[in-house]
């Protein structure tokens, strides 16, 4: 891991120097950020460090810290370690990364100013991170390049992401078991937390835990304590984190055999076929449109919509059942930056009629993307379809029968390589099953 990290740091130095040269600066300064407080209260919101800061160091929860990179010099970490008897202060830095930094410890946030450069300085962070005359300026040309390059993961990053997948899969197995045992959404969520070793506040994103019709809400944000009268379906979109790197996995389960279970299996077959096409040179927009074509075939084969698949896509019928994008970049952020812009920051447009696609770049080795097709039975969108010109192609009795199940989403993380794609999620799933056997 020390060798992987050293190579990772060398890559960041190279990228940063290219970005500094492009933007016309001599130093790169990155603020971890500051704690923010509830309005008219003394309670802080959960803190998460600036992702640019976490790119350099596995420190996700330390406010008031700074990184300084000056070409030709050893990177500097200004580390805030307060003398605090109200809370447990951050531990002294330790681990495989410490030897690569010049370390300065400060006790008060204002002391950082004495260690930060002046002059032509690119300062990345939120405005409230400012100390003295060191104020974040976030130069756009610099950010454009750094965000684009962050799409290409180093060996160190891939290792962290594989570990995050394994951590998440422990939670997913426990969540499925809790569903099979008749648990409520809240009980299932607690089983996930216990098994993954996470708490609510350190997850990379709020878990989406849906029973029955709740699965029709794409980002369902509640966890009901009530057990439903009957368990029909279960959708869980939940992740984990290792050293700042996120996992993002979704699975859907049917409580028993039948039409919905068959539909889940059909979506998963298409999802696996799409994962296999994560290859260098593939335009992700084309893969997204192929996903729609494949899901149109599922709808027709299931007898839900009687239309030619190509016509279903062209006429926007598939968007009623699959309204979101096929996937996104992932890494330090669940929806990682840089998915829709080139190296110069120019936008790469989405396909017409697909406003929610988060990734429009051409795939290349080192990219890690999610592949997450779905089929949903969303009353408001179905009402629009029913009032439109293609209503006669829909078996509305079949739709009514599926409404109580909500919807389906299957999501894996897949790394693009020079050869065959690496499905990080399926490998972690196999590992989790072998470990529990």
C-alpha to C-alpha distance for 387 and 144, rounded to whole angstroms: 44
Of 359, 363, 358, 372, the residue nearest 425 (C-alpha): 372
Single residue among 99, 118, 149 that ends a domain in this structure? 149
When the pLDDT of each residue in the chain is averaged and rounded to a whole number, the result is: 96
- What are 121-130's pLDDT values in tens digits? 999 999 999 9
Whether residues 315 and 409 share a domain: the answer is yes
Q: State the pLDDT at residue 433.
A: 82
Distance of CA 114 to the CA centre of its chain: 36
Q: How many domains does the chain have?
A: 2
**Are 189 and 132 within one domain?**
no
Q: How far is CA 180 from CA 86, 112, 230, 426, in A?
A: 43, 53, 12, 21
> So what's the pLDDT on residue 434?
84
- According to the model, what pLDDT value does residue 86 have? 84
pLDDT at 311 over 80: yes
Per-residue pLDDT reduced to its tens digit, 104-113: 999 999 999 9
51: CB partners within 8 A, 6+ apart: 244, 332, 333, 337
Q: What is the pLDDT of residues 344-401, one digit of tens each?
A: 999 999 999 999 999 999 999 999 999 999 999 999 999 999 999 999 999 999 999 9
Q: CA 305 to CA 315: how far, in whole Å?
A: 13
pLDDT score recorded for residue 24: 98
pTM: 0.95
Strand extents, DSSP E, 108-232:
121-124, 208-211
Q: What percent of the chain has pLDDT over 70?
A: 100
Q: Which of 128, 149, 170 is the last residue in one of the domains? A: 149
Q: Which domain holds residue 431?
A: 155-436
Based on the domain organization, do 195 and 134 belong to the same domain? Answer: no
Considering only CA atoms, which of 235, 294, 224, 308 is closest in space to residue 266? 294
Mean predicted confidence (pLDDT) in 320-331: 98
User: Domain holding 258: CATH number?
Assistant: 3.90.230.10
Per-residue DSSP letters for 386-422? HTSTTGGGB-HHHHHHHGGG-EEE-BEEEE--SSS-E
Q: What is the CATH number of the domain that holds 145?
A: 3.40.350.10
Between CA 188 and CA 297 the distance in angstroms is 33
């Amino acid at each position: 891991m020390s060798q992987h990290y050293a190579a990772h740091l060398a890559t960041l130095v190279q990228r940063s120097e290219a970005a500094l040269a492009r933007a016309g600066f001599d130093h790169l300064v990155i603020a971890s950020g500051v704690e923010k407080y509830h309005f008219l209260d003394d309670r802080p919101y959960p803190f998460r460090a600036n992702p640019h800061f976490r790119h350099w160091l596995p420190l996700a929860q330390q406010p008031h810290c700074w990184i300084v990179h000056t070409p030709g010099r050893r990177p500097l970490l200004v580390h805030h370690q307060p003398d605090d008897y109200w809370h447990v202060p951050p531990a002294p830095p330790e681990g495989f990364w410490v030897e690569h930094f010049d370390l300065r410890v400060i006790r008060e946030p204002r002391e950082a100013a004495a260690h930060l450069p002046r002059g032509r300085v690119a300062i990345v962070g939120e405005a409230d991170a400012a100390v003295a005359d060191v104020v974040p300026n976030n130069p756009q040309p610099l950010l454009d390049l750094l965000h684009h390059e962050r799409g290409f993961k180093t060996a160190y990053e891939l290792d962290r992401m594989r570990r995050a997948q394994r951590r998440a899969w422990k939670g997913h197995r426990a969540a499925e078991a809790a569903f099979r045992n008749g648990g409520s959404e809240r009980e299932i969520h607690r089983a996930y937390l216990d098994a993954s070793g996470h708490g609510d506040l350190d997850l990379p994103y709020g878990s989406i835990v849906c029973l029955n019709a709740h699965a029709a809400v794409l980002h369902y944000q509640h966890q009901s304590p009530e057990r439903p009268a009957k368990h029909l379906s279960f959708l869980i979109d939940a992740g984990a984190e290792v050293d700042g790197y996120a996992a993002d996995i979704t699975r859907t389960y049917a409580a028993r055999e039948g039409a919905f279970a068959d539909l889940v299996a059909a979506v998963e077959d298409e999802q696996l076929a799409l994962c296999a096409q994560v290859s260098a040179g593939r335009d992700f927009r084309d893969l997204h449109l192929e996903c729609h074509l494949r899901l149109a075939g599922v709808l027709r084969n299931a007898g839900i919509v009687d239309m030619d698949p190509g016509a279903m896509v062209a006429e926007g019928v598939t968007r009623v059942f699959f309204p979101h994008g096929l996937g996104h970049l992932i890494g330090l952020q669940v929806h990682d930056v840089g998915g829709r812009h080139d190296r110069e920051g120019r936008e790469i447009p989405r396909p017409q009629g697909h406003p929610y696609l988060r990734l429009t770049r051409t795939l290349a080795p080192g990219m890690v993307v999610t592949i997450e097709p779905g089929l949903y039975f969303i009353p408001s969108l179905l009402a629009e379809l029913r009032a439109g010109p293609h209503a006669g192609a829909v078996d509305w009795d079949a739709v009514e029968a599926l409404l109580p199940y909500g919807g389906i989403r299957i999501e894996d993380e897949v790394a693009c390589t020079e050869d065959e794609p690496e499905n990080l999620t399926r490998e972690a799933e196999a590992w989790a099953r072998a470990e529990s056997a």
